[in-house]
Amino acid sequence: MGDPRRRVPRTDALLADPRLAKAAERLGRTLVKTVIADAQQRARAGEIAPEQVADHAVAALPVSAATLRPVINATGVVVHTNLGRAPLSRAALDAVHTASGATDVEFDLATGRRARRGRGALAALAQAVPSAGGVHVVNNNAAALLLTAMTLAPGKEIVVSRGELIEIGDGFRLPELMASAGARIREVGTTNRTHLRDYTDAIGPDTGFVLKVHPSNYLVSGFTAAVPINELARLDAPLVVDIGSGLLTPHPVMPDEPDATTALRDGADLVTASGDKLLGGPQAGLLFGTAEVIERLRRHPAARALRVDKLTLAALEATVVGPPTPVAQALDADVDGLRERARRLAAQLPQADAVDCVAAVGGGGAPGVELPSAAISLPETYAAPLRVGTPSVVGRIEDGRCLLDLRTVAPDDDDALLEAVRACSS
């Protein structure tokens, strides 16, 4: 008998297989060759027969040329940062597809001349927040704050309460972000209590603006004091309010969550927010403010470095004018409907129970707000295989059980969820 490794098919022969040839057209020849090489190596190592190389290569082909995998979010965290924050609506996805080719993003088809970039998205945001005299968009909320500091406070002081000197994630801290723009932080008050006189005493010729920051991922309770926006607006300095999570108008589920419309009506000169959190759109930094301030931001040289691409503009416009987003649907979900879904799905699965649970807003929004929900409860051993399965399902471990919280699972994904769980139990 000869060495079986000599029977391993050659790469060119495998690329001629109709299944792999079609995959090369869709995924690219380089990626398919990598998959083939892995299968060939398994055959040389004796893990599979040489005759099985083509079948194993086909089975190992990825869904797309990117390494990102789709995930069913069953964590119960509506805006899950590690899972990409807000899932886009169908309208936004369609808009991204349209914008992926040549578009009139900066071109007036009627006149044949250059036009304002992203005018559709800007108009949609302006209509959604009519209290704003102007609107601008950058690539995230940190960029919005950075542009604001570079424009309004270069070499000057930014007055902010000590209780609002937040860390925004992954070790990035607000004071360091502002300092990188050439501004200086002027801390006022204490961690738990800041009064109007603290701001008044700090404002002077070196003041660039007063900054009020929504604490986001934490609550300070007990012996506390903070100055509301309408009082800060009476100070002799521009007022910038970072609401963070991106509500454009008040929401009944989160009565204490700040929103852009209310902040502007209370006297803020500029409001910054995220696009990919409670708004339910793509990653973006949203700036709403007076026409004069917005124009200064727009004309700053750094504005071009921080601008968003055509895909983001398309998704943002469709998010604002389109139907309720997945985030909105999850926040507004009827708990009785969630319980009925949990009972129906659990009845079709082995070792599963329907249980009540509590979901969370996530993404730095509405800390402390609990969302009543329902889940499929499975043995804890299901968690790991569900994560690496197809489709990938990410739940949470609670009291030794793997919970699949349905508040964050779209009803259209119920069949895929059942399929994933059954695959783990077989």
pLDDT in tens, the chain (426 residues): 567 778 899 999 999 999 999 999 999 999 999 999 999 999 999 999 999 999 999 999 998 898 899 999 999 999 999 999 999 999 999 999 999 999 999 999 999 999 999 999 999 999 999 999 999 999 999 999 999 999 999 999 999 999 888 877 777 788 888 888 999 999 999 988 999 999 999 999 999 999 999 876 667 778 889 999 999 999 999 999 999 888 999 999 999 899 999 999 999 999 999 999 999 999 999 999 999 999 999 999 999 999 999 999 999 999 999 999 999 999 999 999 999 999 999 999 999 999 999 999 998 788 789 999 999 999 999 999 999 998 899 999 999 999 999 999 999 999 999 999 999 987
Q: Which residues of 170-183 are buried (b: 16+ CB within 10 A; e: fewer)?
A: eeeebbebbeebeb
Spatial distance between the Cα atoms of 410 and 426, rounded to a whole number of angstroms: 25
Residue 220 pLDDT? 74
Residue 164 pLDDT? 87
Whether the CB-CB separation of 220 and 213 falls below 8 Å is answered with: no
Among 129, 134, 106, 128, residue whose Cα is nearest residue 119:
106
Residue 217 pLDDT? 64
Torsion of Cα atoms, 337 then 339 then 342 then 345, to 10°: -60
Q: Which residues of 132-152 are buried (b: 16+ CB within 10 A; e: fewer)?
A: bbbbbbbbbbbbbbbbbbbbb
Spatial distance between the Cα atoms of 247 and 331, rounded to a whole number of angstroms: 12
Q: What tokens appear for 274 in the block?
A: 């995220």
Spatial distance between the Cα atoms of 378 and 353, rounded to a whole number of angstroms: 7
Tell me which residue has tokens 């005299």: 133
Tell me which residue has tokens 């589920």: 253
- The pTM for the full model equals 0.91
* Integer angstrom CA distances of residue 93 from 63, 83, 252, 274, 302: 18, 17, 27, 19, 29
Q: Which residues of 21-37 are buried (b: 16+ CB within 10 A; e: fewer)?
A: eebbeebeeebbbebbe
Q: Is the dihedral of CA 86, 87, 91, 92 positive or negative?
A: positive
Determine if the peptide bond prior to 391 is cis (ω within 30°): yes
Spatial distance between the Cα atoms of 391 and 280, rounded to a whole number of angstroms: 23
Residue 124 pLDDT? 98
Which residue segments constitute the domains of the chain, with CATH numbers given? 11-57 (no CATH), 71-84+328-425 (3.90.1150.180), 90-323 (3.40.640.10)
Spatial distance between the Cα atoms of 324 and 418, rounded to a whole number of angstroms: 25
Residue 418 pLDDT? 97
Spatial distance between the Cα atoms of 284 and 273, rounded to a whole number of angstroms: 8
